[in-house]
Structure 1
């Protein structure tokens, strides 16, 4: 499925906007601050989670609007079908409940996690340039986005694990916590934690194998491995660590403490010790390999959102990137300040963004 129609209402800088893109490249150009990334963020909300900025719903609503916002899209199969085959999905919030996310699929209310049944979306933004040098939480979010494309149920397990962990942390803060209730919460964490560990390990293993077997090319090959808790009797570990966790005010063992470690295979060096350019190349190589993996294993290519990616590549690497993306197929949204950066693409949906408006070129 690709986004064949995108409508924004009171979202970020847009009072209202309508985009009708094709199934391949979608290129948005405009000055810095024009609102290009806002469009990518809107597309990213068509999947579970808080989008590519990780913002709250109130931050997404137009500051001068009535409160609340709406992002609506039509998803269309990339091939002719006997019937229309299109799906209408939407998400947003209302002025009366600005922090409550609402999702509709073909007009019916649904959970945000249900969106993963229809679309896989992955993105790269300039803010992710620090992914390898900052804390593990950002890498876990990136990892879970990779996993979600192959295992849509991953989001449900993650949500239920987090809910049980929050309840346990709160209970441990009480003077005399109910031991039976703690045991029940720990059993729930163990159940969903095992599912998280299994899908993460499977995704990292398959992606690492694909990257290791890939020929040398313009983008660095990454080695991947998980570090931290990887299984075992989590319920017993949690029960045995209650006093420690109560003193710390948080749970100190479990899949929420896992880290994704990345190395530059060509140099045998940890990603955090590589140059900024090498880190960008590693990240881009992971995303491209993952898109191929999803296409092969899940039968659908994820939508890619690449924010300002062309500006950081030399002409030969830009050409190699466009050729790789065109060969893989699927819908790819890209932003840049100048159209000249994308001339090597060929056919695309060209959009100019300026002052909260979007115009087809």
Structure 2
């Protein structure tokens, strides 16, 4: 199954753009600032969350307006197609709405139809980033595999904010109220941690099947920020009340999780590997995850400027892997030359100032 009949209205620099006749490979080329990444961002909004830029809704409408829409048809060439759409209306500019076949739906429900993954240049510093950046990366991978993950994360964050508020008050918190908040934290936090651990383990197992060359193969490990077992986490929260009250915040739990990444061939932490090695490991992780995600639902993989810094051998290996994968692939580049190996099988568009022309 793949996305086709894609439409963007008043989104970023696209007043009205349509893409049809899509394929397994889909290539957008044009100068920097033409609007290529904007198309990928629009597609990323057909998944739960804030999209590949994590941008506020107010930044997305064309010309500083207060509304936009993105739609696409999910089809496999047989059976009944599914129309997915997301939009912001001028009367509610801070609320993103979702429709499936014209009926109102939740943003979380998009994850039941489509498994979206992406890789952008902004993610190149993942291994040197903060633990929070890697948690967001893991959560996005987890959400593509388990749409219920977003609900657990939201409920845990709400309980965490409430516990931190109680701990920060001058007066000692009501122990009964605190007990209830910590029960919610333990329930949703334990589920959150287990989901992250399963995702990292699944991607790590998939990566173990990857060759060390031409991409640097990483090994992954889940670094828990606290006890994962529900009862153990609940006990840890009770025992740490005095310490956390002194600190003014909760110091244990999945909000302190991390993902440890090591380059397999050298047994060197990814954070101190070369820029090229880090990029290669990030590509390998993205490909392994996309292959996993596409097993249960239609998969879409968005790769922004991914070929720009790859030598011909690695580009060819990347295209071979993508060709064999089950996900529909969207790529961007400033020129078509690096994509010559897939030119005969890709749907291609030229992007210029928010306008699309089929090549």
Cα distance in 2, alignment partners of residues 28 and 260 from structure 1: 32
1:99 aligns with 2:89: no
For 2:103, which of 95, 101, 108 is the aligned residue?
108
TM-score by length of 2: 0.94
TM-score by length of 1: 0.93
Distance 1:71 1:236, change over 3 A: same
Cα distance in 1, alignment partners of residues 348 and 203 from structure 2: 32
Q: Could you say which residue in structure 1 is the equivalent of 2:67? A: 68
Distance 1:159 1:21, change over 3 A: farther
Q: Are the equivalent residues in 2 in contact too, given 1:9–1:70 (CA < 8 A)?
A: yes
Listed as ranges, the gaps of 5+ residues in structure 2 are none
Q: Which moved more, 1:154-163 or 1:34-43?
A: 154-163
Q: Could you say which residue in structure 2 is the equivalent of 1:313? A: 310
Q: Which moved more, 1:95-104 or 1:52-61?
A: 95-104
- SS where residue 249 of structure 2 aligns? coil
Q: Could you say which residue in structure 2 is the equivalent of 1:199? A: 195
1:337 aligns with 2:342: no
> How do 1:43-82 residues align onto structure 2 when only pairs under 5 Å count?
43-65=43-65, 67-77=66-76, 79-81=77-79
Q: Are the equivalent residues in 2 in contact too, given 1:305–1:334 (CA < 8 A)?
A: yes
Q: Could you say which residue in structure 2 is the equivalent of 1:42? A: 42
Q: Which moved more, 1:235-244 or 1:53-62?
A: 235-244
Q: Could you say which residue in structure 1 is the equivalent of 2:125? A: 130
Q: Are the equivalent residues in 1 in contact too, given 2:37–2:304 (CA < 8 A)?
A: yes
- SS where residue 131 of structure 1 aligns? helix
Q: Could you say which residue in structure 2 is the equivalent of 1:278? A: 277
Cα distance in 1, alignment partners of residues 89 and 174 from structure 2: 38
Q: Deviations over 1:172-191 (max 9, x none)?
A: 33333332222212111111
Q: Are the equivalent residues in 1 in contact too, given 2:263–2:269 (CA < 8 A)?
A: yes
Q: Could you say which residue in structure 2 is the equivalent of 1:15? A: 15
Alpha-carbon shift at residue 225 of structure 1 (Å): 0.3
| Backbone CA RMSD of aligned residues | 1.7
Q: Deviations over 1:243-266 (max 9, x none)?
A: 433444432211111001101001
Listed as ranges, the gaps of 5+ residues in structure 1 are none
1:326 aligns with 2:323: yes
Q: Could you say which residue in structure 2 is the equivalent of 1:26? A: 26
Distance 1:95 1:183, change over 3 A: same
Alpha-carbon shift at residue 64 of structure 1 (Å): 4.0
Cα distance in 2, alignment partners of residues 349 and 137 from structure 1: 37
Q: Could you say which residue in structure 2 is the equivalent of 1:225? A: 221
Q: Are the equivalent residues in 2 in contact too, given 1:23–1:330 (CA < 8 A)?
A: no
Q: Which moved more, 1:160-169 or 1:37-46?
A: 160-169
Q: Could you say which residue in structure 2 is the equivalent of 1:349? A: 347
Alpha-carbon shift at residue 21 of structure 1 (Å): 4.4
For 2:167, which of 165, 168, 172 is the aligned residue?
172
Cα distance in 1, alignment partners of residues 116 and 312 from structure 2: 26
Cα distance in 2, alignment partners of residues 302 and 257 from structure 1: 30
- SS where residue 31 of structure 1 aligns? coil
Q: Are the equivalent residues in 1 in contact too, given 2:113–2:297 (CA < 8 A)?
A: no
Number of residue equivalences: 354
Q: Could you say which residue in structure 2 is the equivalent of 1:263? A: 262
Distance 1:205 1:349, change over 3 A: same
Q: Which moved more, 1:251-260 or 1:209-218?
A: 209-218
